[in-house]
Structure 1
Amino acid sequence: MSSTTEHNAFFIGGEYRAPAGTGRITVISPNTEEPIGSVPDGTEADIDAAVAAARQAFTDKSGWGGWSPAQRADAMERLADELDKRAADLAQAVSAQNGMPIAIAGQLEAVFPQLLLRYYAGLAREYPFEETRPGLLGGSTLVTADPVGVVGAIVPWNFPQALAAFKYAPGLAAGATFVFKPSPETVFDAYTLADAVAAAGIPDGVINIVPGGREVGAYLVSHPGVDKVAFTGSTAAGRTISEVCGRLLRPVTLELGGKSAAIILDDADLDLTRVGEQIFSATLLNNGQTCFLGTRILAPRSRYDEVVQTFAGLAGSLQVGSALEATTQIGPMVSARQRERVESYIAKGKGDGATVAAGGGRPQALDRGWFVEPTVFAGVDNNHAIAQEEIFGPVLSIISYDGDDDAVAIANASDYGLGGSVWTSDHDHGVSVARRVETGSIGINAYLPDPTAPFGGVKSSGLGRELGPEGLAAYLVKKSVYL
């Protein structure tokens, strides 16, 4: 991506159309604090046009609306191929905008969408979109699974391409059409996606993209032409969206915040030469700006000091710097406001009596960019704000426990339930503990959502599931035809 990037249109109906308004979204580099480009700011009229294009594509029986699952799968694989060609550009764009280390963007943002497209293309070819069931009253029933219709999808800034694919990959397999509203912080990569959609021969109007702020997102959620909403973001915003969709009786999938627990059992291997990469990915991935991270580290009292030393050593060893440097492991926060939020929680942790075991400030060698040192707190009570509230930054809280029952009780004493992990040398023991944790997903000695399995939260972490066959089912509506 060049030093400055300017776009002047929206991708609507398979073409770039002039915006209805004159507003602009200016993107500020988290690495340098300097503007790096701008795009039009969407309006309600732009959303109207995008929804109309999506509806036309959905109802066109000579086009997308009449395609077989196999035809849709072929198109999805072409889109994956086109994204492959643009992988480096996608990674560069994401890192420049949100501070994700380029090494991570290259592994996830530039790869995961294609993985999902190919997985769901395969699933579409074999999925039972209709079946005949024998009845109990003398007849039989034809059960069909039809696409839900037009989907309003709102995507966050932390993993903009992967989380968009969480929605469009199963949705395209189902036969749905989309209006995407990217976050204002990450807009350039959405244009690269649009170029790939056009090059892949996806029919006009199947995917439409209108960047904008909260007001435009709220308008999309409540739009009368939208049949389903898919949202990833904060729990506060998710509650508002769920209230609107509840009133409208509109299906909604919500993947929201988290405050997951990483439970270190008393037999866990903490040698960072063997498990350092797994621990890092499960607790500090993407500068801590990841919803499922295990930021509450639960340590057995007998090994508490060792656990503190291990995590403090890990935090202190990480390379902090520009997201665009290949060796960077911790990049900047996405915005000045996000850094202020993270620093306010570090101050709260100190004020509540926790001890800073590593980090706690800004890197002295970096005088520009919204950087925060990877920070580890010891002496944390699970009732402290830093243990209960989502910080969304590189801040870990180490909490002591006595025995498995206590560990599980602390892990479950949270409003959230999205991810988590259990660290042990005894696999069966780890699984038995994992079963007791109130969460939508949890890993043993690692954590990373797998495309084949459902992903989502319980409690304040969301509603519904993405990924796996369950993710496809979320974009289908069942109908019974009694024969």
Structure 2
Amino acid sequence: MTSYDTLFIGGRWTEPAGSETIEVRSPHDQSLVGRVPGAAEADVDRAVEAARQAFDHGPWPRATPSERRAVLARFNELHTARGRELAALVTSENGTPLWFTGLLHNGGIAEQTASYLRASESFGWEERLESGTTVRREPVGVIAAVIPWNAPHQSALAKIVPALLAGCTVVLKAAPETALDALVLGEIFAEAGLPEGVLSILPAGREVSEYLVSHPSVDKIAFTGSTAAGRRIAAIAGEQLKRVSLELGGKSAVIILEDADHAAVAEGLKTASLANNGESCVAHTRVLAPRSRYEEIVAALATMIEGLTVGDPSDPATFIGPVVRADQQQRVRNYIDLGIKEGARLVVGGSDVPQGLEGGFYVRPTLFADVDNSMRIAREEIFGPVLVVIPFDDEEDAVRIANDSPYGLGGGVWSADAEHGMEIARRVRTGTFSVNGAHAALDGPFGGYKASGIGREFGLVGLGQYVEFKTISS
């Protein structure tokens, strides 16, 4: 069991202000994984004050970009060295299967951080224009970073790393479901040599989150989470004229063209749609299939889903584990029942709990056919292992359906002609898009259109979210 009795505030392990304890329990069997103190508003005050002092008077914002890079590069080495341990810990906390946490913590997150380090080397920190004007990029200030539980280190470091490279100071508010791995980050950053005051890590619930993002000494909010919470944060930022970046929900459509290889499509959607138990903002959960080959595609997807291993997420053979909490389990099951009521055809799965797994928060991987894009199961983010297959008449109809969504985070197309797939990609209004299951490079910007958010993460563009421009005429 992993437990802490102190909080990481301003780079120091500090007694909490309150008496609340967060118990982290396994979604697989509700066994106790560990305990941490729950941060209170007084802890937020201390963390923000430490960040404010470190930004206004400390060495970090005044260090050179190369000096900051050296500390972050050391952090990346130390973090990668603990990859196996961290993958197992996150799996025990949130139910993400070990195959997925292993991919993240044994390569994926390291490359994400490395892409930011490379961006920092080529970033135009200070440039002189032909007119003789100097343009500087300076750190925004104190950052309130608020992250979800579904990929905690990936989300945390997508914000902490560029913020620190830019010279900002950070208060990270971690989700209570993954409070343990959040505090491990404090250990690693301290070992990497981050100066005092620059980083605090506070596990807490929503009320403390709102207190943090509303704090008058915070200059920018960086948030990943639900669109509903993002709207509230955007309202707070607007009232206070804080800078804000929001990575929010999605209901991504993948278009299957008539010439696509259905076996390859099914194998590709196994991860694009159902990785991390379907608890992913970019999951391709709307499958758009041509009427001419509709039943073939439905059958291929059904075969793939029926072959998935559901069970203990710590077993390397498991593909689908439990969802994170009992209320999330019930929410997904309610959507499955709703789909049946809306008239969709249940092909695989259902709202009953898988046999033998009643002790955990399990949901059967579910496939619906004969879905209309107006149905709630096609329009609302379910955040679980549920796919819907929507028929289309021709490519114009497919693009129309793909764009007919309040979201615009991800999407994809499958075609025997990759260049034609690129033509489709240019017409769909989403921040990210894949052709034939290609993986997104971590140096390209990541984020969404419409209700999927504001701003971008990763690479040069992501680093640029943490700077202000200053123009100096001389």
The one of 283, 287, 293 aligned to 1:293: 283
The one of 95, 100, 113 aligned to 1:99: 95
- Percent identical pairs in the alignment equals 47
The aligned amino acid for 2:221 is V
1:164/1:277 CA distance change after superposition, 3 Å: farther
Shift in Å at residue 276 of structure 1?
4.6
Shift in Å at residue 116 of structure 1?
2.4
Q: 1:324 maps to what in 2? A: 314
The one of 219, 243, 255 aligned to 1:251: 243
Q: 2:48 maps to what in 1? A: 51
Hey, what's the Cα distance between the residues in 1 that align with 2:214 and 2:231? 14
Q: 1:265 maps to what in 2? A: 257
Could you tell me whether the CA contact under 8 Å between 1:27 and 1:97 is conserved in 2?
Answer: yes
The one of 60, 76, 99 aligned to 1:80: 76
Shift in Å at residue 392 of structure 1?
0.1
Hey, what's the Cα distance between the residues in 2 that align with 1:116 and 1:208? 21
Hey, what's the Cα distance between the residues in 2 that align with 1:313 and 1:365? 22
Shift in Å at residue 110 of structure 1?
4.5
Could you tell me whether the CA contact under 8 Å between 1:420 and 1:447 is conserved in 2?
Answer: no
Deviation track 1:32-59 (CA, whole Å, cap 9, x = no partner) reads: 0233222111111101111111122223
Corresponding position: 1:482 with 2:473:
yes
Corresponding position: 1:181 with 2:166:
no
The aligned amino acid for 2:77 is D
Q: 1:23 maps to what in 2? A: 20
Hey, what's the Cα distance between the residues in 2 that align with 1:267 and 1:456? 30
Deviation track 1:186-232 (CA, whole Å, cap 9, x = no partner) reads: 11111211111011111112221011000100011111111100000
- The worse-fitting range, judged by mean Cα deviation, of 283-292 and 63-72 is 63-72
Hey, what's the Cα distance between the residues in 2 that align with 1:448 and 1:160? 20
The aligned amino acid for 1:172 is L
The one of 386, 389, 395 aligned to 2:377: 386
The aligned amino acid for 1:480 is T
Could you tell me whether the CA contact under 8 Å between 2:431 and 2:447 is conserved in 1?
Answer: yes
Q: 1:357 maps to what in 2? A: 347
The aligned amino acid for 2:345 is T
Shift in Å at residue 113 of structure 1?
2.9
Corresponding position: 1:90 with 2:86:
yes
Q: 2:63 maps to what in 1? A: 67
Hey, what's the Cα distance between the residues in 2 that align with 1:424 and 1:402? 16
Corresponding position: 1:167 with 2:159:
yes
Hey, what's the Cα distance between the residues in 2 that align with 1:342 and 1:225? 39
Q: 1:452 maps to what in 2? A: 443
The aligned amino acid for 1:345 is Y
RMSD, aligned CA: 1.2
- The worse-fitting range, judged by mean Cα deviation, of 89-98 and 122-131 is 122-131
Q: 1:146 maps to what in 2? A: 138
In structure 1, the residue corresponding to 2:312 is in which secondary structure?
Answer: coil
Hey, what's the Cα distance between the residues in 1 that align with 2:155 and 2:270? 21
1:418-437 matches, cutoff 5 A:
418-437=409-428
1:380/1:366 CA distance change after superposition, 3 Å: same
Hey, what's the Cα distance between the residues in 2 that align with 1:44 and 1:449? 38
Return the TM-score normalized by structure 1.
0.96
The one of 116, 120, 124 aligned to 1:124: 120
In structure 2, the residue corresponding to 1:315 is in which secondary structure?
Answer: helix
In structure 1, the residue corresponding to 2:262 is in which secondary structure?
Answer: coil
Shift in Å at residue 290 of structure 1?
0.2
Shift in Å at residue 126 of structure 1?
2.5
Shift in Å at residue 176 of structure 1?
1.1
Shift in Å at residue 447 of structure 1?
5.2
Corresponding position: 1:213 with 2:192:
no
Hey, what's the Cα distance between the residues in 2 that align with 1:323 and 1:415? 32
Could you tell me whether the CA contact under 8 Å between 2:267 and 2:304 is conserved in 1?
Answer: no
Q: 1:228 maps to what in 2? A: 220
In structure 1, the residue corresponding to 2:203 is in which secondary structure?
Answer: coil
Corresponding position: 1:281 with 2:290:
no
Hey, what's the Cα distance between the residues in 1 that align with 2:87 and 2:341? 39
1:222/1:448 CA distance change after superposition, 3 Å: farther
Hey, what's the Cα distance between the residues in 1 that align with 2:280 and 2:360? 19
The one of 322, 346, 356 aligned to 2:336: 346
Deviation track 1:247-271 (CA, whole Å, cap 9, x = no partner) reads: 1111100000000101101111112
Return the TM-score normalized by structure 2.
0.98
The aligned amino acid for 2:262 is L
Could you tell me whether the CA contact under 8 Å between 2:84 and 2:105 is conserved in 1?
Answer: no
The aligned amino acid for 1:60 is H
Shift in Å at residue 326 of structure 1?
0.8
Gaps of at least 5 residues in structure 2 are: none
Deviation track 1:111-134 (CA, whole Å, cap 9, x = no partner) reads: 333222222222222311011112
Q: 1:371 maps to what in 2? A: 362
Could you tell me whether the CA contact under 8 Å between 1:281 and 1:447 is conserved in 2?
Answer: no
Hey, what's the Cα distance between the residues in 2 that align with 1:357 and 1:338? 22
The aligned amino acid for 2:286 is R
Hey, what's the Cα distance between the residues in 1 that align with 2:11 and 2:262? 52
1:246/1:448 CA distance change after superposition, 3 Å: farther
